[in-house]
Amino acid sequence: MELAEEQIMRIWCMYQDVVWDGEIHYPRSFSIQDKANDIAMLKLAKESNPTNPVLLKEIDKRMLEIIVDDPEELEELEKESPLSEDQDEMEHPVTDEGNREAHIREMIMEGYTDQQILEKHPEISQEDIVRTKANLLNDPNG
């Protein structure tokens, strides 16, 4: 369509004895996505205070994707985002023998996989996780 419109303009300008030096650019996306509605729904989901930090992070990421159209700018913002490391360290402080099992239980109940727990806590071993899961299974109070 852009090329056809440019050719029409060239022909019209030739008829008018004028040289056409313009360019026609259409938007690359004709998405019918209702951004305002999507943001409102994500905001509502976030305000429901989900306990899973992975879900919260995903909501924030989706909101950012809707707001920022430029992929390069989006990538730059995600790199600079305070939601990445600092927030994660606050939510998952280094554990010690006294609070390790309780924290592993919390993370298991929030839906973290063993791999995610190990990535967030280098001080935790796979044996700690297995032991905590066994204790959870044997504990009638959960």
Q: What is the pLDDT of residues 54-102, one digit of tens each?
A: 788 888 888 888 888 777 877 777 776 655 444 555 566 777 788 888 8
Reported pTM? 0.38
CB 64, CB 47: distance < 8 Å? no
Q: Do the beta carbons of residue 53 and residue 120 sit within 8 Å? A: no
Instruction: Give CA–CA dist 24/7, Å, rounded.
Output: 10
Measured CA to CA, the distance from residue 39 to residue 135 in angstroms comes to 41
Supply 60's token pair: 């924030």
Residue 64 near residue 79, CB atoms below 8 Å? no
